[in-house]
Chain A
Amino acid sequence: MTILTGKAETVGRRRPEGGGLLRKIWDHRADYGYVLPAIAVMLIVIAYPIYYTIELSFFATPPGLQLRDKVFVGLNNYTAILTSPVFWTVTKNTLIWTVASTFLSFVLGFACALALHRDFLGRGILRAILIIPWVISAVAASYIWKWIYHSDFGIIGAVLVALGWTDRPPNFIDSVSTVLPSLIVVNIWREFPFAMIMMMAGLQTVPDQLLRAAKVDGANAWQRFWHVTFPHLRNVSTVTILLLAVANFNSFIIPWIMTGGGPSNASHIWITHIYELAFGRQRWGVASAYSVLLFVILMSLGYFYVRALSGNEQKDGAE
């Protein structure tokens, strides 16, 4: 059996002169060959849709016309979005949703990870229980929470009324002021186990001897956490926060199933709004323009994510 590598194949064949880029590519041509099918698939399923979405964002698609009969409107879709009051409502909702969900999921997940890092009886069971929200279907969870929150016959409302704390069940998801915080609670409930798992993995990497040395030197628990544990978790924290932020920017299931973006757009976030524009209202052009803007934001987050990962690799290499 022969194992081929780029360099092995160069024997007896003509290779480009000089030491430039072409030569490097030639030397690694077999490696490129291995990744070529994956690149081809990515071009078809990622690059083309991105190109088409950008193209579509310059066209209007009235409901009485087929998409192929779209009308070129230049930057009108972008202008329409930026001058629409709904855009600012939805953007505000998206920012609140993303920042609150990301931050609180991370804090709660981190706190749970720290608690579970200690050795105590039942730790394994507790860890398994805490992971449940993350592994169950988001669709099922949304329907369950919809009934928990039900403004007339929800469990929370029934308990509060039974305890005599309120005359009427609280209005969680049928009010413009409480709907978004209520959905954020559900999202945190679903996401914090992810942060917990990530941080638990990170905690395994903190050198025990450093913590012991700090203790010998008289550092209290907070000082050991702040000066030893936390610096070691900086990279995993960055990655976790970025992954959570990207996931939250792209959230769809919970708000769509529980409220459909209502009432009065109070729980519409970008993705649900884009979905409604495209599939409910067939404004493919405007929806595409929204998607392009969202793509730019997510790519920026992606850049920081890759940078955080590269930073880790460089650091690991240096060590």
Chain B
Amino acid sequence: MADKPLLPDLMKAHGISRRGFLKYCATLTSAMALPPMLAPKVAHALETTARPSVIWLSFQECTGCTEAITRSHAPTIEDLIFNVISLDYHHTLQAASGDAAEHAREQAMKDNWGNYLVVVDGSIPIGNPGYSTIAGISNLDMLKETAEGAAAIVAVGTCAAYGGIPHADPNPTGAVSVSDIITDKPIINVPGCPPIPIVMTSVLAQFLTFGLESIEVDKLGRPKAFFGETIHDRCYRRPFYDKGLFAEGFDDEGAREGWCLYKLGCKGPTTRSVCATVKWNNGTSFPIQAGHGCLGCTEPDFWDNGGFYKPLSVPAGEYRKLGLAAVAGGAALGVAGGAVGRANKARAARAHETVDAHDLEKKT
């Protein structure tokens, strides 16, 4: 890593003044949710720390997390790639493909053994390793092989953190999270479907500038700086909740007045994220501001946690438990895996609920 220039040197080479560096550090400190007075320490870390190697593994995912991180505006993914990290492998973003790409990963691992950072998006199917492969290597094998020499792993997106949508009932691929497989490495979970772009880049930047020990995580492995409070805690509609003023439909007077969306199924009270303060699309808005309740996408099993339009006080449906019981029963009877899979698929089709716009408005 000694041959990789430090950020101030890179900026100087590109004609960017020290003022530009100060501006970058102030913005990065703000994005990392650190107190502004720590900006000089951020600057010092960037001045003295070599850019570490990062290997990004995309498994069973929709590429939404990568799509989102490329929209991060402060710091941008370009900032990270060119200034803070050395992104040595990311099969969606890199130009190389096939053997050349895999050689890049192997070379980065060899050159930085024990020191590189692995970022994972997507869940890992263990029902049949062939469900998701890269260059003929199953996700399970690639994760185990790459994690072995890693300093730490960052699981971005709810799929990598908790299994996400692939893990949703009936979980046809046997999708699991990174922490279900890797148990001997530090893992930071940055959930969300997708996570807020600058939360992803900021966690990476904090890890790279201040180290793993600087990131305090909750019991679900999420950085407290971004997942310490519920969306409800910081929601601008919270005063309406406190006064008992709720929208009852998406087009009633309460909705037009911007009242609380709790009765329309908002999961803000049980969902930890900074959506209400950091917001989306360069700080423009977030779902609740756009008039729709929070889906709770930073929490485990959000897809199976009852209906999106059912208030939190309404008990969640029983279909997830029923599904698990059926799988267990099938295994006990010695039913072949394929048959279980077909049964799961049939049950999922039967349980599938069609929701139209009328339902969305009146179902509560």
- Determine if chain A interacts with chain B: no
Where the two chains meet, the residues of A that have a C-beta atom closer than 8 Å to any C-beta of B are: none
Please report B residues at the A interface, Cβ cutoff 8 Å. Answer: none
